[in-house]
């Protein structure tokens, strides 16, 4: 069973997402890899998971904060998985790259690429494989990462349900 009411569990979720964001910035600014629009959107999804961890850590004993954290975790990891699947598809069949814009389309009320272009401005192409590790591309690794986040969410929600049911 996972200690879903422990603040440290939620901080671990937030820390894991923050570590991914730091890694993304290292790949971009340290190694000189250009992020594509899918990469940028995947960063936003990871930031959503970070926010879910922060929300859940506010008052983890309160069901409301846990449920809000779970919902944001689900939405962010699900959206991230969808983006990563699209990204992998584009890399495996470059003919589908027309579905990948060169500019981010953030809502007018949150133009992240204008506010923080060092992080959210796409400068690369979605079909360009710039990095691999253990024969997997960055997009494929993000597919694994978001899949793990969703699997962990299922385990944590089940654990919470079991603990709540016991009273």
Please determine, for residue 94, whether its predicted confidence score (pLDDT) is greater than 80.
no
Phi/psi at 97 (5° precision): -65, -15
End-to-end CA distance of the chain: 15
Joined together, the tokens standing for residue 107 give: 């809502």
Report whether 131 contacts 33 (CB < 8 A): yes
Please determine, for residue 156, whether its predicted confidence score (pLDDT) is greater than 70.
yes
Please determine, for residue 164, whether its predicted confidence score (pLDDT) is greater than 60.
yes
pLDDT number for residue 41: 96
Identify the band that residue 3 occupies on the pLDDT scale cut at 50, 70 and 90.
low
Domain spans of the chain, in order of start: 7-166
- What's 126's DSSP letter? T
133, containing H or E segment: strand 132-133
Mean pLDDT along residues 68-89: 96
165 is catalytic: no
Which residue in the list 61, 66, 82, 126 is annotated as catalytic? Answer: 126
39 is catalytic: yes
Is the domain 7-166 a CATH 2.60.40.420 member? no
Phi/psi at 79 (5° precision): -65, -45
- pTM here? 0.90
Which residue in the list 7, 39, 165, 166 is annotated as catalytic? Answer: 39
The mean-pLDDT minimum among 26-30, 110-114, 130-134, 137-141 falls in 130-134
- Residue of 47, 1, 8 lying closest to 24 (CA atoms): 47
% residues pLDDT > 90 (the chain): 58
% residues pLDDT > 70 (the chain): 95
Which residue in the list 7, 61, 82, 100 is annotated as catalytic? Answer: 100
61 is catalytic: no
Which of residues 90 and 98 earns the better pLDDT score?
A: 90
Identify the band that residue 37 occupies on the pLDDT scale cut at 50, 70 and 90.
very high
Please determine, for residue 165, whether its predicted confidence score (pLDDT) is greater than 90.
no
**Pairing relationship of beta strands 132-133 and 136-137 according to DSSP bridges:** antiparallel
66 is catalytic: no
CA–CA separation, 68 vs 152, rounded Å? 16
pLDDT tens by residue, 124-147: 887 878 877 898 899 999 999 999
Please determine, for residue 1, whether its predicted confidence score (pLDDT) is greater than 70.
no
pLDDT tens by residue, 115-126: 989 999 888 887
126 is catalytic: yes
Report whether 56 contacts 10 (CB < 8 A): yes
């Amino acid at each position: 069973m996972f200690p879903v009411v422990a603040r440290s569990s939620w901080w671990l979720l937030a820390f894991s997402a923050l570590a991914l964001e730091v890694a993304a910035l290292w790949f971009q600014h340290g190694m000189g890899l250009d992020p594509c629009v899918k990469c940028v959107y995947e960063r936003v999804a990871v930031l959503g998971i970070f926010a879910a961890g922060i929300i859940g850590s506010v008052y983890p004993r309160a069901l409301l904060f846990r449920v809000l954290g779970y919902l944001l975790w689900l939405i962010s990891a699900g959206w991230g998985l969808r983006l990563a699947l699209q990204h992998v598809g584009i890399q495996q069949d470059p003919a589908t790259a027309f579905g990948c814009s060169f500019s981010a389309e953030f809502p007018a009320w949150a133009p992240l690429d204008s506010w923080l272009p060092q992080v959210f401005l796409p400068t690369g192409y979605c079909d360009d494989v710039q990095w691999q590790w253990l024969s997997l591309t960055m997009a494929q690794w993000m597919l694994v990462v978001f899949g793990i986040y969703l699997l962990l969410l299922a385990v944590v929600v089940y654990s919470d349900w079991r603990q709540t049911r016991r009273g």
